Structure formats: C-alpha cells, structure tokens
Structure 1
Amino acid sequence: MADTVQFYMEEMIPEMRDLEQKGIFSKKEISSIIKKRERFEYALKRRISKKADFLRYIEYEMNLETLRRKRRARMVTSTKQSISDYAGPRRIYFIYKRCLIKFKGDISIWLQFIEYAKKTGASRTLGKIFAQAIQLHPTNEKMWILAAAWEWEQNANIVAARVLLQRALRLNTTTESLWHEYFRLELVYIAKILARREVLGIDKSLEEVEKDLLKDADIDTDNMIKLPTVTGEELSAVEADENKLADKKNKTKKDKKAQTPLTAEKAETYKAEANPVLRGEIAMVVYTNGIAAIPNSFPFRKGFLDIAGSFIKPKPLKDDSIRQIYDSIYQDFKDVPEARAFVARRALDAHKVDEEGYAQAVAESVKEFWQSSEEGNPRTWELFVENMKAEYQKTQEENLKLYFSKTIDRIFSSAAKKKIDSEGLYLLQIDWILSSSTQSVGAISQAALAILDKAIAKYPQSRQLVLQQIRLLRTLPQSDQSARLPEIFARTLKIHTESFEVWREYITFVRTAYREDEMSRDEVEAAFLEAIRITTTLLPDVTEERAEIGEIKRSIGAWFLAWVHETEGIAGVRRVYQSLMKRSLPELSFFMACIRLEKQNSVVEVESRKAIAVLYDKAIHADEKNEETYLSYLKYLNETGQIEASNKVLWKASKAVADNDAFSQRVSEMLEGRWTEPSFGSTELDLDTDMDSHENDESAMSS
C-alpha cells in the first residue's frame, strides 16, 4: 500500500515544481497540498474503501483546480501551456476511474463523471465514458438518453443519436421514456430543419416572396449606406468579363456531362411536403412501434401528444399525424374516463383562451363531453366538471364565464336526475357551491352542509367528506359547533383513527372550546389523555404508507404539552410528562418537545438543568443511534458551559453512531454555528392561524 502511494506522490513532483516556478502556489501551500493528497491516497488504499473518500478527494481536487485557474488568469505571463495546466483535470479523471472500478454499479458516480467531462469539454473521453457506462448498465435508460443527447446536441450527429436510441429500445422495449425521447429527437430534428428552411426562404411560394419584397420596399433607407449606381458601359464591361470567365470554365469541363436544368417537377420534390422525414413519418413510425410494444398505457400515449404540443413554431408534426394519435387513443381506451376526457378536450387544447376560434372549440369540446357522459360512469362526470371549472378559471370574458357556470350547474342537475353520484362528485359540487355562489355566507354553508349530510350517509368511510363537513361547521358560531361537532368527532375518530387531519381538527376544536368556556380544564385534559391512549395503541409506522401514524403519535403529545404550558406553566408540563413517563415509554419527539419547553423556561435554574439532562438521557435511550439528538445535547452543553458533561456525551456518541468520522465533522460544524437543529417531527398547532384561515374561507364565500 505504501509503495503505491509513494509512486503516486512521486508522479506529482514535476507538476508541483512547475506550480512553484510559475508562482501560482507558495512552498507552504505546495507542502499542504502534498500532505492532503497523501492523506487521501492512504484513505483510498484501505482494505474496505469508502465511496465518500473518493468523492471528498475529487471535491478537493476540483476546488484546487478552480483556485489554480483563477490565480493563473490573474498572472501576466506567457500563455504557453505546461504540465501544471493539464495535470489537475487528468488527476480528477484518474480518481473517477479508480472510483468506478470499485463502485461500477453506482449510477450516481457515472452521472457525476459524465457531467464533469461535459464541463471540461473532453469529447473523446466522454465517448469512452458513455460506452463503458452503457456496457455496464444496458438497462438504465438515462445513460442511453444522455449519450444520444450528447451525440445530437454536441456533435450534431443525428445518425449516431438514432442508432443509440434504437439499440436502447432493442434491449428495453417496454421503457416508456426511451420511446418518448426517440420521438422527441425526431421532432427536434424536423423543427430545426424547418426553421432553417424558413430562414432561407426555401419553402416560400411566389406570392409570399412578393409580399416580402413589398415589405422591404417600405423600409426607411434614409439612414442606410447607399451603393453607387452602375452605368451601362460599366455593366457591359462586367458582362464581357463574365462571358470570358464562363468560356474558360467550359473549356476545362469538356469531358464532363452537362448539368440538367432544375425543372418545376424536380423542384417540387425538394419541398418539405414531399420529404417523408420532414412530414414526420419517421416520428410516426416511432409512435406506431411504441404503442405496439406498450399497448395498454394511456399516460404513455398522452406523453407523445404532450411532446408534440411543446413545440410552438414551426410545428414539426402535421395535423393529420396529431389526429391519428387522438384516434388511436379513442379506439383503444374507450373504457378509460381520463382518456375519453382527454380526447373530448382536444379542440380546447388546440386553441388559446384569447384566440379567435376558442368559442367554437368550447362548443365542440362540451358536445364531446356530453356524449362521453352518456355512458353513466361517475368518473367521466367528475372529469367533465373539472375541465369546465378549469376553463371557467382561465377565461376573463364574462359571457364565456357565464356559459361555463351554467354548464357546470347543468352537469350537477343532470347527474342528480340520472342518480349518478360518487364521493368525488359530491366534493366537486361542495367546492363549486362555496366558490361560485352569490348567496349569503350562512345560506351557502347550510346548502353545502345539507349536501354533505346526504353524501356522508352514502359514503360514511370517506375521510374527505367528513373533513369538509367539520371545516364547514367550524365556520359557524361556537354554539352551533358544540351542538353537532362532539357527536361527529365521536363517530369519525372511530372510523378514521389513523387520519392526522381528523385528529388535528379534533384537538383544535377542543382547545377552541376551552378558550370559549365551552369545556373545563379537566374535560380538556381528559380529552387529551384519551387521545394519547388511543393513538398509543396504534400499530407503529414501519412502512411509508403508515407514516401518517407516526406523525399523529408525535403531534398529540406535543399539542398536549403546549396547551398545559400555556395554562399552567412549566410546573404543569413537568407534572404531565412525569406522569406520562410512568404510564408508558414515549417516543423521541415527546422528550424533545419537553426539552424545548424546559429551555423556554430557563436554562440557568438548577431544576431546569437537571430536568433537561434527564430528558436528554431518556431521548438518547429512545434512539441511541440518532445523531441529531447527540448534536442537540452537545450544543446545549457547550452553550451553558458544561464542558465535562459535553465530553462524556461526545464519548458516548462516538460509540453509538454509525460513522464516527462523519459525526466528528458534524460536531465541528455545530461548534462553528453551521448546524441547524431540526424540529424532531413535532407539529405546531397555531389556533390563531387556524381561525384566520376560517375567516378567509368565510370572506371567500361572501365574495
């Protein structure tokens, strides 16, 4: 190991000598560079090398090279290149290659290497990198796409880009992004050629050319440089010289065949309409093969139209091709409501709101939507409402807004007559009533609540409907809330025990009831304790889908402590957490919430310091490998001057954390003030903000 490191260090001597001779780095700086590189090289030669060591080495060399370039640019010296000008990038490439030998399966390192090669403009090296990366990761579509993009954007080689994507699709036939990128590549190629032909005027008709000439005739030429006029004698002399030159050229080309003149028929073949590539036929072949490989995905089909619609001018795909894609979606996805809605609004997508044909497009799309709604699928009706509401919000023209409003009302009334309903349709109807009704706030709330009562009777398991009902009731006077909400919460918390939003609404209602003297202190505390008992029995949040349960458990205790702190002060907080710790083993976030409240009281008092120390010990015991807890404790001990206790905690942390070196670095950042203490998952319950939001709801309804 030492021999290899020594060999690498000896290879640096010419570079270091050149840097010193040029005066870019001093002897002291060069000595520091050598020591750091030696330390990095030994780290890379460990028995089990770490990816972080390679990345730190690369980061150091990049920063060093940036510094060298800046100093080199400021120096007034010869521009002649020497060994120090290319030794830095060469070393970075060498470290990347060594890293990829060890971690060839890590895609992120390959991507970093590719990005660096692009940044430094190493085209030849980049080609080799892509070849190696694709060979090792043939199923990673991102590698193929990056390689094809590099061939097209940097090398302007459309053939090579096509070949790469075709090879990628042979190996990854069902990868949607590859088909989309191949389709996009063909459209970009067409758009670029069409734009160039437009600039050159290749596809212009005779009438368009004459119009352009007339426009040019109107240009003010007062401030332009005028060329001198040519006399008839000068023109005759020029023509004679040209005839002599032409005769000389004809003599040298006697043995060559005479070129045939460009006929009108032949000229037609060079137009864009006659060129299969420029008509988008290759792109449509890509689309046809793509849907054959992936026949049952509507989002995949829609992706092609999204790509085609992203081009503004010139449009690379003709209207016939667009229509062909829409027709295939309509034929193959008749039973998918989202697909039917997408096809129904194609006229709207073809026009902007302020364009002349927008009103006609609205009529066509509404007709299509009514036809698709005849099948009676509730989701189709929901999408009809969503699309009409989206257009209602986009347009500013009063007649159109009125038309969309009437159409939405008609949709809801027609659905009710046909007895078509769903949870989503009820939610859309409530939202429309609250946002568009011109009645009084009370009348709007009562109308919405009547619909919600009917909807919840049909869909009692719907969390969104219940939450909407609770939030509407909380806009009413407190007496009306107290009359209905306790019963609703008693029923809802049994059904939606694992809903964070339901618990939040419940705790907010309890605290508001206490503030309005609707509940006593003992009743509120009993409600909190019952909430803690219920949520403690919930199964843990071991999967991502159950993460909401962890949020509930963390928040209920924090909300309880915050309320007790507001009403009884720190003495009440200590009473509560000491009582709860005897009954059960709270989570880390509970202890951190207690610590925050103790710190707010006073970190100078002896009693507070003892309580904080006990709470931190409990928090560490709850999760011994959590680095954030150790850092929070160390920060507190250093701020309060408890150095001996800090050393003990640091020693304990070094035995528990997974990566001691990385933790030591984080401790240094904490001591320098560059570490921010996390919230440890607790959620604040701001009643004032919550009440303001309800007031905003009321003002929105009244407006």
Structure 2
Amino acid sequence: MADTVQFYMEEMIPEMRDLEQKGIFSKTEIKSIIKQRQKFEYALKRRISKKADFLRYIEYEMNLEALRKKRRARMVSDTKKSISDYAGPRRIFFIYKRCLIKFKGDISIWLQYIDFAKKNGATRTLGKIFAQAIQLHPTNEKMWILAAAWEWEENANIVAARVLLQRAIRLNTTTENLWHEYFRLELVYIAKILARRQVLGIDASNKEVEDDLMEDDEVDTDNMIKLPGVTGEEYSEFLKEDDAKEEESKKSSKAKQGKKEKKKREALTEEKAEALQTEKNPVLRGDIAMIVFRNGIETIPASFSFRKGFLDIANSFIKPKPLKEDSIQEIYESIEQDFKDLPEARALVARRAIDAFKVDEEGYAMGIAETVKGFWAACESGDVKMFELFAQNMTWEYRKTKEENLKLYFSKMIDRIFSTANKKKIHSEALYLLHVNWMLSSSTQSFDAISKKALAVLDKAVAEHPESTALTIQQIRLLRSFSRSEQIARLPEIFARALKIHTESFEVWREYATFLRTAYREEDMTKEQVEEAFLEAVRITTTLLPDVTEERADIGLIKQSVSGWFLDWMYETEGIDGVRRLYQSLMKRSLPDLGFFMACVQLEKENSVDQPESRKAIAMLYEKAIHTNEKNEDTYLSFLKFLNETGQIEAANKVMWRAGKAVENNDAFSQRYSELLEGQWVEPSFGVTKLELDMDVDAEDVTMSS
C-alpha cells in the first residue's frame, strides 16, 4: 500500500515543479497540496474503501484546479501551456476510473464522470465512458439517452445516435421513455433539416424547387452582366467559304454529343430534384418517425400515457412542423380506435381542434366549436368522468383567453355543463369540487351571495359523499368565512361528524384546532369548554394506530400536532403553570411522544433555567423523553448540553455513562459529544414546529383551498 502511494506521489514531482516555477503556488502551498493528496491516497488504499473518500478527493482536486486556472489567467505574460495545465484534469479522470472499479454499479458516479468529461471537452474519453457505462448498465435508459444525445448534439452524428437508441430498445423493449426519445430524435432531425432548407430557400415552394433543378436553361438575368448579341450576318463574315463542309461535319457531331449530355443532365437533375423534394423524401416526410411510433404501440399496446407521449412530442414543435398532418391524424386515430372507452382518450381527441391553434390565432374560434361538439358527443354516454374532463378543459381555456367574448362563451358553456350534469343526476366528488371552485372564482355576484349558493351545493355534496375529506374541508373553510353566529350554529355539528369519519385527516384536525382557538378568542366558548375539547381531541388521537405504513404517515404528525397546539394554547392562556398542569395531567392518562416532551422542555427553557423548580422540571421531562426512545442520541446530547450550560457536571457525567450503554455506536456518539463541547453541534427541532393556525378566512382562501 505504501509503495503504491509513494509511486503516485513521485509522479506529481514534474507537475509540482512546474507550478512552483510559474509562481502559481508557493512552496508552502505545494507542501500542503502534497500532504493532502497523500492523505487522500492512503484513505483510498484502505482494505474497505469508501465512496465518500473518492468523492472528497475528486472535490478537492476540482477546487484545486479551479484555483490554478484563476491564478493562471492572471499571468498574461506566460501563455505557453505546460504539464501543470494538463495534470489536474488527468488526475481527476484517474480518480474517477479507480472509483468506478470499486463502485461499478453506482449510477450517480457514472453521471458525475460523464458531466466532468463534457465540461472538459474530452471527446475521446467520453466515447469510452459511454461504452463502459452502457456495457455495465444495459437496462439503464438514462445512459442510452445521454449517449445518443451526445452523438447527435455534440458530434452531429445522427447515424450513431439512431444505432444507440435502436440497440437500447432491442434490450429494453418495454421501456416507454426510449421509444419516446427515439421518436423525438427523428423529429428534431427533420425540424433541423427543414429549417436549414428554409434558410437556403430550397423549400420556398415546390414549383420553385422543380424549376430551379429541372430547367437549367433558365437563368436569373437580373444578377448577370448582359453581353451584346451577335447576329447571323456578323458571324458569317468570320467563316471562310472553303471550309464550309468541315464546319457542317463538326456541327453535326457536336449536336449529337450535346443531345447525349442534355439527356444525361436532365436525368441527373430529375433524380436530384426528386430527392430534394420534402414530399418525396421518406426521411423528411417523417416515415422513420412513424415507423418508430407503429413499432412502439405494437410493443406496448395498452398504455394510453405512452400513446399520448408521442402526440405531446409531435405537438411540441412549432415551426417548422416535422410531422405532416396525415401522420398526426394517424396518431389520433390510433388513440381513438384503441382507447375508445377511456374518457381521457376521448377528451384528447375532442381537444384536437383547439390544440392545433394558439389562443390568438384565427382558427382557434372555429376549433372551439368543433371541440365543444366533440365533448358533448362524448358526454352522451352519461360518464361522470367525461363531464369532469369537459368542465376542466373549458375552465383551462377560460383562464387562458383574454378576449371578452370568448370568456363569456366559455363561462356560459361551463354553467351549462354543470346544469346538464345536475339535471341528469350525474355527480361525483371531483365534479362537485369543480363546480364549487368555479362558482367562487368566476361569479360576478357578491361573495356573500355566491358563497351561500356554493354552501348549498357543498351541503348536498357532503350528504352524498360523506367519506370525502376534500368536500368536508371545503365545507368547513367556506363556513368559516360566514358570520360568527352562522359558524357557531353549524360548525360544532359538522366537526362532530367529521372527526368520527375523518379521524386520520391532518387537515380536519387543523381546522378543528383553529376553530377552538378562534371560538375562545371571540368568547364563543369558555376556557373550560375549549380545554375539555382539546383533552378529548388528545384522547382520540392517542388511540390511533401507529404510522407503520406510508399511507398512514400523517398519524404521527396528527398525534404530535394536536398535543402541540393544545400546549401552545395553554401557554398563551395560563403561562408555564398551565403547561405544567397539562403535561402532568397527560402523563397520568397516557405517555405522550418524544416531540411533546421536547416541546415542554422548550417552553420551560423559555420561561427560566435559573430557578431550581424549572431545572427540576426540565430534567424530569428529559428523562421522560429518553424513556420514549432510549437509543436516540440527539435526546441525550440535548440533555447533556442543558446540564453543561447550567453547571450540573456530575449529572452530565451520569447521563453520558447511561448514553454510552444505550446508543448503538458509542464511538460516534463520543465524537458528537466532543463537537457539542466545542460548540459545533446543532440541536435538532425534534419535530417540534410552531404551526401557524389560520385564524381568519377570506374569499381568496376559500377559492384556493378547493
């Protein structure tokens, strides 16, 4: 190991000498560089090398190279390159190679390596990197796409880019992104060629292309100097009568040869003209791209998102359009045929007339009529999803357009959609939410008037869909914008029902806590009533099952937040005495979690740390917090920090001894404790966050929440 490190160190000697001679680094700096590199090299030569060691070494070398370049740029007098100009990047490449020998399977390192090679313009090296990466990770679509993009964008090699993506698809037949990127590559290539032809004037019109290529006799005389003409009589004066026969024989031979050359030239120009015409060129016509599309949907026939992806790529090009209208029509027809029962597909087909134009283009208005007709035809089946998509699409168009007549048209159309759905008794949670949101955001009536109509719709919606959390929260938030008397008359009953059905909804509990605090502030409820309500809320949330799955991730947040809101309210109303009474009461009923105890510790510290009573209470709370999770290092460190700051050294030693036995890694914990003593340790929040409860609701808040 030492011999290898020494060998690497000796290889640096010419580079270091060059840096010193040029005055880029001083002797002291060079010694420091050598020492740091030696330290990194020994770290890489450990029995079990770590990825972090390689990355730290690479980061150090990159920073060093950046510094060298800055200093080198200041040396205007010496512009000749030498070994020190190449050694830095070469060493970074070498470290990356060594790293990837150890960690071949780490995609992130390969991506960093590729990025570094691109920035340094290492074209040959980059080709080798891509070859190695693809060989080791043939199922990683990102590697194939990056390699193909590099071949096309950097090397302008469309053939190599095609070959790479074809191989990628052959190995990863069902990877949708590869099919999409190959389709995109062909369209980008076509668009680039068409744009170039427009600049050159080749595709000004088909007639012009044909005239320029097929008729060589026509010349642009406006840009040529006209020579004086020679008449037949003047020409005959130069001819001698005695060689008339000889001239006639020459003319006949030249005429035959001219006819042959003219036929040959005409054949050649016709061939060129045919090849240069966009309509007759299979590549420029988009045939290859459509072959990719057909093979893709044959391989992955049942994915609507896959099919729609091709359409999105084709529509993303503005001018020139690489795909002709018949090709785009084929994509739409395939979607309509294969997904005729899917509402999203039917909506996409109906939107075609709108998607073909921008909002400010002339054909947009005609497209609206055709699109609306298509949506109404799709809605005849009575599918509630079609009505949702119809309302969504019309609302999007209403937001996009600025023309008042169009806005009025869309507004009436949206009202008609909801009215028709209501008459046919076609309802859903999403449709109700769309309706309420539309009413609150676009009505010209006063908010008081429209909010009552919206509340009537929400009451009906919640009655039909009591399990919908979104509808319930919308109903609560809308009611909170009403007068206090109307809130007190209805909200308690709504919360009583909601907290039974939506016990695991964080937003419902948040609204409930907001209601309790607002009711106390407005003197609609007494302190005893609010306290009793909070205690009942804590009891309900404590009985919730643990958040062991991702679907129930909000459970822990609900438990912690409800008790935290209760704690904040008690501190605001009774101060530290109320907080102490609360946590002592809760500890008798159940054992709160770590976040609750640490919130109590924080409030006790804010009150006082000098009084013996406060210190005793803080120590007790820390003990309870440790009891909830005896392996949590941060709790021990927070306790130790408090004891050291208050001069309780003996107690700190006892806690340190207990922690050493409880934590999983005693050495790491000791290191963190040393950082604490040096003032480098940052105390975490322990999940204790002061959630700002929204005390007042206005019209904009109600609209945004939907």
- Smaller-chain TM-score range? 0.7 to 0.9
Q: 1:697–1:107: structure 2 CA closer, same or farther, 3 Å change rule?
A: closer
Q: Is the 8 A contact 2:51 2:99 kept in 1?
A: yes
Aligned to 1:50: 50
2:463 is equivalent to residue 447 of structure 1 = no
Q: Is the 8 A contact 1:510 1:524 kept in 2?
A: yes
| C-alpha distance after superposition, 1:366-403 (max 9, x if no partner) | 00000000111101101101111111111122221111
Distance across 1 between alignment mates of 2:682 and 2:435:
45
| Correspondences of 1:486-565 after superposition (within 5 Å) | 486-565=492-571
Number of matched pairs: 658
Q: 1:446–1:64: structure 2 CA closer, same or farther, 3 Å change rule?
A: same
Distance across 2 between alignment mates of 1:456 and 1:680:
37
2:197 is equivalent to residue 191 of structure 1 = no
Distance across 2 between alignment mates of 1:437 and 1:206:
53
Aligned to 1:174: 174
- Worse-superposed segment, 595-604 or 174-183: 595-604
Distance across 1 between alignment mates of 2:282 and 2:704:
56
Aligned to 2:415: 409
Aligned to 1:341: 347
| C-alpha distance after superposition, 1:191-222 (max 9, x if no partner) | 1111111111111239889xxxxxxxxxxxxx
Distance across 2 between alignment mates of 1:53 and 1:267:
62
User: Post-superposition shift, 1:423?
Assistant: 1.4
Question: What is the SS of the residue equivalent to 1:314?
Answer: coil
Q: 1:330–1:232: structure 2 CA closer, same or farther, 3 Å change rule?
A: closer
Distance across 1 between alignment mates of 2:364 and 2:568:
56
Aligned to 2:108: 108
Q: Which runs of 5+ in 1 are unaligned?
A: 210-228, 234-253
| Correspondences of 1:294-333 after superposition (within 5 Å) | 294-333=300-339
User: Post-superposition shift, 1:654?
Assistant: 8.3
> Percent identity of the aligned residues?
73
Distance across 1 between alignment mates of 2:152 and 2:615:
66
User: Post-superposition shift, 1:347?
Assistant: 0.9
Q: 1:428–1:323: structure 2 CA closer, same or farther, 3 Å change rule?
A: same
Aligned to 2:598: 592
Counterpart residue identity of residue 318, structure 1: K
User: Post-superposition shift, 1:2?
Assistant: 2.5
Counterpart residue identity of residue 450, structure 1: A
TM-score by length of 2: 0.86
Q: Is the 8 A contact 2:395 2:410 kept in 1?
A: yes
Q: 1:646–1:158: structure 2 CA closer, same or farther, 3 Å change rule?
A: farther
- Worse-superposed segment, 325-334 or 434-443: 434-443
Q: Which runs of 5+ in 2 are unaligned?
A: 210-223, 229-256
Counterpart residue identity of residue 67, structure 2: L
Aligned to 2:476: 470
| C-alpha distance after superposition, 1:559-618 (max 9, x if no partner) | 111101100112211222233234433223223322332343245555445544554454
Aligned mate of 2:265, from 252, 257, 260: 260
Question: What is the SS of the residue equivalent to 2:265?
Answer: coil
Q: 1:490–1:686: structure 2 CA closer, same or farther, 3 Å change rule?
A: same
| C-alpha distance after superposition, 1:217-254 (max 9, x if no partner) | xxxxxxxxxxxx98979xxxxxxxxxxxxxxxxxxxx9
Q: Is the 8 A contact 2:440 2:703 kept in 1?
A: no
Counterpart residue identity of residue 367, structure 2: A
Question: What is the SS of the residue equivalent to 2:698?
Answer: helix
Aligned to 1:223: none
Q: 1:57–1:208: structure 2 CA closer, same or farther, 3 Å change rule?
A: same
Distance across 2 between alignment mates of 1:642 and 1:80:
66
2:442 is equivalent to residue 436 of structure 1 = yes
User: Post-superposition shift, 1:426?
Assistant: 1.4
Aligned mate of 1:353, from 348, 359, 369: 359
2:138 is equivalent to residue 138 of structure 1 = yes
Q: Is the 8 A contact 1:631 1:670 kept in 2?
A: no
Distance across 2 between alignment mates of 1:154 and 1:665:
49
Distance across 1 between alignment mates of 2:181 and 2:643:
56
Counterpart residue identity of residue 69, structure 1: K
Counterpart residue identity of residue 67, structure 1: L
Distance across 2 between alignment mates of 1:193 and 1:115:
28
User: Post-superposition shift, 1:5?
Assistant: 2.3
Q: 1:558–1:8: structure 2 CA closer, same or farther, 3 Å change rule?
A: same
Q: Is the 8 A contact 2:314 2:323 kept in 1?
A: yes
2:207 is equivalent to residue 201 of structure 1 = no
Distance across 2 between alignment mates of 1:641 and 1:12:
53
Aligned to 1:219: none
| CA-atom RMSD in angstroms | 3.2
Question: What is the SS of the residue equivalent to 2:496?
Answer: helix
User: Post-superposition shift, 1:45?
Assistant: 2.1
User: Post-superposition shift, 1:47?
Assistant: 2.3
User: Post-superposition shift, 1:698?
Assistant: 7.6
Q: 1:326–1:634: structure 2 CA closer, same or farther, 3 Å change rule?
A: farther
Distance across 2 between alignment mates of 1:268 and 1:303:
33
User: Post-superposition shift, 1:9?
Assistant: 2.2
Aligned to 1:37: 37
Question: What is the SS of the residue equivalent to 2:155?
Answer: coil
| C-alpha distance after superposition, 1:437-457 (max 9, x if no partner) | 333433323222222222222
Distance across 1 between alignment mates of 2:570 and 2:177:
55
Q: 1:690–1:316: structure 2 CA closer, same or farther, 3 Å change rule?
A: farther
Distance across 2 between alignment mates of 1:49 and 1:648:
37
User: Post-superposition shift, 1:308?
Assistant: 1.4
Q: 1:348–1:136: structure 2 CA closer, same or farther, 3 Å change rule?
A: same
Q: Is the 8 A contact 1:279 1:317 kept in 2?
A: yes
